[in-house]
A and B are shown apart, each in its own frame.
Chain A
Amino acid sequence: DIQMTQSPSFVSASVGDSVTMTCRASQGIHSWLAWYQKKPGKAPNLLIYAASTLQSGVPSRFSGSGSGTDFTLTISNLQPEDFATYYCQQANSFPITFGQGTRLEIK
């Protein structure tokens, strides 16, 4: 199974800041990586797929990069609604696996 490791587990930032979080796969997954935003009591929301493709309707302040084993999600100009937990997910092979999440909180 492919293990997905996210870092940091927790990050604190202010409105208007930029933050970057990383996701590392235990083996190469090409660009088969997605990022989701999860808020308490709500369903996950797809932000990025194929490592860097912005899902329709997602603000352009979200961006993704990487290939192989190392990936990043960057959020620029943080807005109040961005404070949530972010998960990466590999779609290279079954079993599909998620990272453990990065929790983004307001400083």
Chain B
Amino acid sequence: EVQLVESGGGLVQPGGSLRLSCAASGFPFRSYAMSWVRQAPGMGLEWVSTIGGSGSSTSYADSVKGRFTISRDNSKNTLFVQMTSLRAEDTAIYYCAKDLAGGSYNFDLWGRGTLVTVSS
């Protein structure tokens, strides 16, 4: 089955760290760029980060640059984001998303999301 399954969300204190994972199945994972997109409570969608298929190229939103690190393990079909120095405004549902094709940066497959809550 073609799917993405996120994990690793939870409650963390401001300034803390968290690592999210996204397990992919049903498609040639290494052939596609992957991204993280988040949605804060009551807000719209916000792109967070993208990584190329080989893992050598990455991009970040200014809001997370220097605090979040995206990576992937193509041998395990898994996408990661390491989040540090977390802030209240990072509270959101985090979705991993698959690129449609060829670096289109449109997202045709999404996970169900994992909730990150940053609060003391």
Give the B-binding residues of A (Cβ under 8 A): 1, 32, 34, 36, 38, 42-46, 49-50, 55, 87, 89, 91, 94-101
- Choose from A91, A95, A101 the contact partner of B44 (Cβ within 8 Å): A101
Interface SS of A by simple majority: loop
Residue pair B59, A95 in contact (C-beta under 8 Å): yes
* Cα(A55)–Cα(B101), bound, Å: 12
Which bracket fits the contact residues of B? 20 to 34
Stretch with Cβ within 8 A of A (4 or more), from B9-17, B22-30, B67-75, B107-115: B107-115
Give the A-binding residues of B (Cβ under 8 A): 35, 37, 44-47, 50, 59-62, 95, 97, 100, 104-108, 110-113
* Cα(A34)–Cα(B35), bound, Å: 15
* Cα(A63)–Cα(B97), bound, Å: 23
Provide 20 A-B residue pairs closer than 8 Å at the C-beta atoms, listed in order of the A residue.
A32-B105, A36-B45, A38-B45, A43-B112, A44-B107, A46-B106, A49-B100, A50-B104, A89-B45, A89-B47, A89-B106, A89-B107, A95-B59, A95-B60, A95-B62, A96-B47, A96-B50, A97-B47, A100-B44, A101-B44
- Choose from B50, B61, B110 the contact partner of A44 (Cβ within 8 Å): B110
- Choose from B44, B59, B60, B108 the contact partner of A46 (Cβ within 8 Å): B108
Given A49-B100, A91-B104, A98 and B110 contact (CB-CB distance below 8 Å): no
